[in-house]
C-alpha cells in the first residue's frame, strides 16, 4: 500500500502489541515526491514478539519482507468479475493463438 511520510521512512519498524505480539512495517521503494514529502510501499505483518526481533529481521531481511508481501496478497480481495473480464479481453484481442486462448480460459476460470 502506498503511504506518504514527512521524512524518509526506515526500511522497517517494529511496534510491540501487548506482551507477546509485534506489528512490523516494511517500507520499500521510498521516493521523495516533493521537498520534505516521501512516498513508499508499505507491507505489514503481525508476528510473535521476541527481544531479539530486530536482529532476526536484519539477519534475514529479504525473507521477512517477502513474507510480509505474501501476507498482504493473502489478505487482498479476489479480483472482481470486471477485472477478470478486462484481463480476458486483453489476452483475446486480435486473432489469438491456441496458447492465448488457453490463457484466456484460465483467466476466466480464475486459475
- Residue 12's DSSP bridge partners are 26
- For the chain, what is the radius of gyration of the CA atoms? 20
pTM, entire model: 0.63
Could you tell me the residue ranges of all domains in the chain? Answer: 2-75, 78-111
Of the two residues 73 and 10, the one the predictor is more confident about is: 10
pLDDT digits (tens, 9 = 90+) for 69-80: 988 777 667 778
pLDDT digits (tens, 9 = 90+) for 12-56: 999 999 889 999 999 999 998 888 899 999 999 999 999 999 999
Q: How many helices (H) and strands (E) does the chain have?
A: 4, 4
- d(CA 48, CA 67) in angstroms, rounded, equals 14
Amino acid at each position: 500500500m502506498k503511504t506518504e511520510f514527512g521524512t524518509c521512512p526506515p526500511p522497517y519498524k517494529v511496534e510491540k502489541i501487548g506482551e507477546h505480539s509485534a506489528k512490523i512495517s516494511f517500507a520499500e521503494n521510498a521516493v521523495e515526491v516533493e521537498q520534505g514529502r516521501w512516498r513508499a510501499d508499505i507491507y505489514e505483518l503481525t508476528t510473535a514478539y521476541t527481544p531479539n526481533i530486530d536482529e532476526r529481521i536484519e539477519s534475514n531481511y529479504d525473507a521477512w519482507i517477502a513474507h510480509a508481501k505474501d501476507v498482504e496478497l493473502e489478505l487482498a480481495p479476489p479480483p472482481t468479475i470486471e477485472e477478470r473480464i478486462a484481463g480476458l479481453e486483453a489476452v483475446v484481442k486480435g486473432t489469438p493463438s491456441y496458447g492465448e486462448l488457453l490463457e484466456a480460459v484460465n483467466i476466466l476460470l480464475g486459475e
